[in-house]
């Protein structure tokens, strides 16, 4: 995937805390001429897109905002909404500076265009980067528009700008009591140059930023009106379904029953695709039934085929392979001399940990709607986290220049990292080929079974730990080798002799004062198609590290909470957070203890530093019939500064659910090169009756703004595993917990 590596930096290498370089952008260059602030016409987006392509370094207000005559606002957001609440957050941020109630905003994901490269000079929705990377830019968009509206009002009223103020949605001339709605000024404002400098509101004057504003999409999503990619419809559209080769490297050969399938109800045509067959039909159900009836002889790929899946590949074999892979690996973090300290340690603790492949399991199955237009251009409606990346690869698949591909990015029915470019995991190249072949628009939907067959998985993880304790039982050395492959370097390019950050994050970068440390990455290529999964490496590495931490504490006869506090003595931010979660949970108590309902329970604690935020988590568990019940999860999160505490709380709930789901239940099992589960019956995800109560405390330390969508997740599996160990004495070193039987208590 070389084309990507040229255009998109690895996620982990983006500037973590700094917004875009505003001096470089010379924000909103006045040289751009006409500004289309006020004209709310369908199709204005396409105009903005074309203009944007010519203006790489100077984002324009008009690319982002349309103020309509009724004083409502269309905001073209750089980010796609997929449940994380970013559309609402963008409206809050722009509305704050524009002086317009965010509830009056409609937010849609912007088309490809240079204006929207606001994530460190690029654009994607991921890495919990959206708000923190674009915060300053989006505030300036709102403030610039407000300034232009004021200027337009000054001309209209023939008064000095300084005599005017704004109130939500309008300009007021206090001296005369006259007011003008933004909608009435928008056309005039559009003709004005964009101001070079704008003053941003002081934090203390915020009306909407920092407040738990209601989500803009809550009502549409509660009444079935929200439209996802799978819901898109265009005139003359046919529908398609695919049957993929059971193993990744197989290609379709002969069909045993082509005539019969062709004669099935609604069938339009049968197609061979790379690694798959497809049926195009009038209705999706007809397409699906036909394609699944098609008897295909799958042929082996030519020797040397890239990413060929070995026919004997199994997840069990993969675990053994990782376990056997020798160190020392490529160093990711080296402090002091871990090897020498381990040699002289009073006590050495060793353990190996592993975590399985995981599927995304977003509830909206992937789809793509492709429409070729008479002028040779292509419209593509596709769930995606990076419109420009999809545009480049769609153009390649279509054999046309990127500027002839219009990418539409409907809201996502969940994503969790699912909708990046993952070669065989994306349906859009198939939709493009099918639409071209039949000469009509085609909407392709992958059945849930096809999705489980071709999803890009969280890679399997494996870590070898050694810790050295001094005579007092305190850890003085830690050596960790993370074995396997990370998704970042898979998709964004590998640097020789550099560890993949996505393979070690959560093992490296821990805050504890352990004076001698070595964290290394032992690279072993993964035969599976791997991808980003909510909180990426942290999703398993913090489980490995924080659970091993408790083993070390036990070996040194230390309480795990107290030992963390002690090793964070010089880290006030972390210490405060750990104390906050202790306080939130009613004071730290490990247990086992007897709950009011008579059940025996225990608690576990874990910390994580993911995506620029800090998180401390406590979980309380009991056993029922040998299985783990999680009753409560307490999370203290410090994202530095915040935009919407309501959405943060919702995101933490969501991250707790997904983290717990992974800890308790989830595991993609491969046998003979094929994933065994093809639907939620074979790959259970957290059901409602296993959802714990979730208690959230937001700590605003004032540190640079961190991420929100992912950070709540990594602390959950280790907090639960540590609680289970405290309750049962059984250490959990391999997930999910459903593999283990626990003694009755």
Residues that bind another protein (CB under 8 A): 82-85, 214-215, 217-228, 230-231, 233, 239, 265, 283-285, 361-365, 411-416, 445, 447-449, 646, 650-651, 653-658, 661, 679-681, 685-689, 691, 693-694
268 vs 575, which CB is nearer to another protein?
268
CA distance 164 to 105: 24
User: Least Å distance between CB 361 and another protein?
Assistant: 6
Query: Which residue matches tokens 């490296």?
Result: 508
Residue 205's CB is within 10 A of a number of other CB atoms, namely: 9
User: Least Å distance between CB 344 and another protein?
Assistant: 47
User: Least Å distance between CB 225 and another protein?
Assistant: 7
Alpha carbon of residue 270 to chain centroid:
35
Q: What is residue 164's three-state secondary structure?
A: strand
Nearest to 133 by CA among 9, 216, 41: 9
Encoded tokens for 494: 């590998």
398 vs 655, which CB is nearer to another protein?
655
361 vs 427, which CB is nearer to another protein?
361
Contacts of 401 (CB under 8 A, 6+ apart): 395
CA distance 458 to 530: 6
472 vs 693, which CB is nearer to another protein?
693
Q: What is residue 670's three-state secondary structure?
A: strand
User: Least Å distance between CB 290 and another protein?
Assistant: 12
User: Least Å distance between CB 169 and another protein?
Assistant: 23
Half-sphere exposure (CA, 13 Å, Cβ side) for 212?
Answer: 8
CA distance 659 to 656: 5
User: Least Å distance between CB 687 and another protein?
Assistant: 6
User: Least Å distance between CB 218 and another protein?
Assistant: 5
CA distance 197 to 554: 58
Encoded tokens for 543: 């489980």
CA distance 126 to 124: 6
CA distance 652 to 641: 16
Nearest to 370 by CA among 294, 302, 278, 292: 278
83 vs 252, which CB is nearer to another protein?
83
34 vs 227, which CB is nearer to another protein?
227
Q: What is residue 104's three-state secondary structure?
A: helix
User: Least Å distance between CB 602 and another protein?
Assistant: 22
572 vs 687, which CB is nearer to another protein?
687
User: Least Å distance between CB 657 and another protein?
Assistant: 2
User: Least Å distance between CB 705 and another protein?
Assistant: 21
Element (H, E) at 255: strand 251-255
User: Least Å distance between CB 678 and another protein?
Assistant: 10
82 vs 640, which CB is nearer to another protein?
82
442 vs 658, which CB is nearer to another protein?
658
CA distance 94 to 145: 9
> How far lies 146's CA from each of 125, 162, 174, 397, in Å?
27, 13, 17, 42
> How far lies 26's CA from each of 71, 140, 175, in Å?
28, 11, 35
Residue 448's CB is within 10 A of a number of other CB atoms, namely: 16
116 vs 446, which CB is nearer to another protein?
446
CA distance 509 to 36: 46
Q: What are phi and psi of 241, to 5 degrees?
A: -135, 155
User: Least Å distance between CB 141 and another protein?
Assistant: 26
User: Least Å distance between CB 655 and another protein?
Assistant: 8
Query: Which residue matches tokens 């709950």?
Result: 595
Alpha carbon of residue 214 to chain centroid:
22
CA distance 40 to 61: 14
Q: What's the first-to-final CA gap in the chain, in angstroms?
A: 52
User: Least Å distance between CB 416 and another protein?
Assistant: 7
233 vs 305, which CB is nearer to another protein?
233
117 vs 653, which CB is nearer to another protein?
653
Fill in the DSSP letter of residue 739. Answer: G
Nearest to 614 by CA among 504, 714, 479: 714
128 vs 166, which CB is nearer to another protein?
128
Query: Which residue matches tokens 């309501």?
Result: 646
161 vs 363, which CB is nearer to another protein?
363
């Amino acid at each position: 995937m070389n084309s990507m590596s040229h255009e998109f930096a690895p996620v982990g290498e983006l500037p973590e805390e700094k917004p875009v370089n505003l001096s470089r952008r010379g924000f909103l260059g006045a040289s751009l001429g006409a500004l289309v602030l006020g004209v709310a016409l369908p199709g204005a987006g396409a105009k903005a897109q074309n203009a944007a392509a010519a203006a790489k370094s100077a984002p324009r207000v008009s690319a982002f905002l349309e103020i309509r005559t009724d004083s409502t606002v269309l905001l073209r957001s750089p980010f796609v909404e997929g449940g994380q609440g970013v559309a609402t957050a963008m409206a809050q941020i722009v509305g704050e500076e524009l002086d317009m109630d965010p509830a009056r905003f409609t937010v849609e994901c912007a088309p490809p265009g240079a204006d929207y490269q606001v994530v460190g000079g690029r654009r994607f929705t991921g890495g919990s980067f959206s708000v923190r990377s674009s915060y300053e830019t989006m505030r300036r968009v709102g403030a610039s528009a407000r300034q232009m509206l004021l200027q337009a009002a000054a001309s209209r009223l023939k008064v000095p700008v300084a005599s005017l103020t704004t109130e939500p949605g309008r300009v007021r001339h206090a001296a005369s009591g006259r007011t003008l709605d933004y909608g009435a000024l928008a056309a005039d404002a559009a003709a004005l140059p964009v101001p070079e400098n704008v003053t941003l509101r002081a934090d203390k004057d915020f009306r909407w930023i920092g407040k738990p504003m209601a989500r803009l999409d809550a009502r549409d999503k509660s009444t079935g009106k929200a439209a996802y990619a799978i819901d898109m419809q265009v005139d003359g559209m046919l529908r398609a379904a695919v049957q993929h080769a059971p193993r990744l490297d197989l290609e379709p050969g002969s069909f045993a029953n082509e005539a019969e399938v062709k004669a099935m109800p609604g069938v339009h045509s049968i197609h061979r695709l790379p690694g798959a067959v497809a049926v195009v039909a009038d209705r999706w159900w007809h397409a699906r039934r036909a394609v699944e009836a098609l008897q295909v002889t799958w042929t082996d790929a030519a020797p040397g085929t890239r990413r060929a899946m070995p026919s004997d590949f199994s997840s069990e074999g993969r675990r053994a392979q990782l376990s056997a892979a020798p160190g020392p690996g490529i160093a990711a973090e080296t402090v002091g001399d871990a090897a020498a300290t381990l040699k002289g340690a009073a006590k050495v603790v060793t353990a190996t940990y592993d975590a399985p492949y995981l599927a995304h399991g977003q509830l909206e199955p992937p789809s793509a709607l492709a429409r070729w237009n008479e002028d040779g251009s292509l419209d593509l409606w596709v769930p995606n986290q990076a419109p420009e990346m999809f545009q480049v690869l769609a153009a390649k698949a279509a054999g046309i220049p990127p500027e002839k591909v219009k990418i539409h990015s409907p809201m996502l029915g969940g994503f969790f990292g699912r909708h990046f470019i993952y070669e065989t995991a994306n349906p859009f190249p198939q939709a493009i080929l099918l639409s071209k072949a039949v000469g009509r628009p085609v909407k392709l939907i992958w059945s849930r079974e096809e999705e489980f067959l071709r999803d890009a998985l969280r890679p399997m993880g494996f870590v070898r730990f050694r810790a050295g304790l001094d005579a007092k039982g305190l850890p003085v050395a830690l050596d960790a080798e993370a074995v396997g492959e990370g998704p970042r370097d898979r998709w964004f390019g590998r640097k020789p002799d550099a560890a993949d950050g996505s393979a070690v994050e959560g093992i490296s970068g821990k805050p504890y004062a352990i004076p001698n440390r070595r964290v290394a990455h032992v690279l072993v290529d993964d035969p599976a198609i791997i991808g980003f999964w909510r909180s990426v490496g942290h999703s398993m590495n913090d489980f490995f590290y924080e659970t091993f931490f408790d083993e070390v504490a036990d070996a040194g006869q230390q309480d795990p909470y107290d030992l963390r506090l002690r090793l964070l003595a010089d880290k006030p931010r972390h210490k405060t957070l750990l104390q906050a979660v202790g306080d939130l949970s009613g004071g730290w108590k490990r247990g086992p203890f007897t709950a009011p309902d008579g059940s025996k329970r225990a608690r576990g604690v874990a910390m994580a530093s993911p995506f620029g935020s800090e998180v401390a988590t406590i979980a309380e568990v009991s056993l029922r019939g040998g299985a783990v019940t999680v009753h409560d999860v307490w999370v203290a999160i410090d994202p530095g500064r915040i935009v919407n505490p309501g959405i943060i709380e919702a995101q933490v709930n969501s991250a707790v659910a997904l983290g717990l789901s992974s800890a308790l239940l989830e595991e993609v099992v491969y046998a003979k090169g094929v994933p065994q589960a093809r639907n939620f019956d074979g790959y259970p995800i957290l059901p409602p009756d296993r959802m714990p109560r979730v208690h959230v405390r937001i700590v605003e330390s004032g540190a640079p703004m961190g991420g929100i969508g992912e950070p709540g997740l990594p602390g959950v599996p280790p907090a639960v595993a540590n609680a289970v160990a405290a309750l049962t004495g059984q250490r959990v070193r391999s997930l999910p917990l459903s593999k283990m039987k626990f003694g009755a208590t």
